[in-house]
């Protein structure tokens, strides 16, 4: 759940973690990992694996991975000039 596989010919495989606003949080190279190691990594990161493709996802995993994201803070501090930073558009990332 909340994991999408994209094949990019010629690119080294990597796991790209995005925030709910599609901002890149981290890139993890996968070239030297086995399928089992990748499955374990995804599980450790907090992703939920559905039993079947159409199985429901428990509420606690709806926004998995459960790792706290800095962009989810309830209040944004003003900038040095005292103005609140502009809000980002929450549109879907064009590459997804």
User: Would you list the domain boundaries of the chain?
Assistant: 1-69
pTM of whole model > 0.75? no
Give the H or E element holding residue 89: none
The pLDDT tens digits for 7-30 are 899 999 999 988 878 889 899 999
CATH class name, domain 1-69 = alpha beta
The residue count for the chain: 96
Give residue 82's pLDDT: 55
Place of tokens 């501090």: 77
Give residue 79's pLDDT: 52
Using CB atoms within 10 Å of the CB of residue 18, give its burial: 0 to 12 exposed, 13 to 18 middle, 19+ buried. Answer: middle
The pLDDT tens digits for 49-77 are 888 989 999 888 887 774 554 444 454 55
Please check the confidence at residue 36 and state whether its pLDDT lies above 70: yes
Peptide bond into 65 cis (omega under 30): yes
Give residue 67's pLDDT: 54
């Amino acid at each position: 759940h909340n994991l999408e596989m994209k094949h990019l010919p010629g690119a080294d495989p990597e796991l790209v973690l995005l925030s709910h606003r599609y901002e890149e949080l981290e890139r993890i190279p996968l070239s030297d990992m086995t399928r089992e190691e990748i499955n374990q990594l995804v599980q450790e990161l907090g992703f939920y694996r559905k039993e079947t493709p159409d199985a429901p996802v428990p509420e606690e995993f709806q926004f998995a991975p459960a790792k706290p994201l800095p962009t989810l803070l309830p209040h944004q501090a003003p900038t040095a000039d005292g103005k609140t930073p502009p809000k980002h558009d929450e549109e879907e990332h064009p590459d997804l």
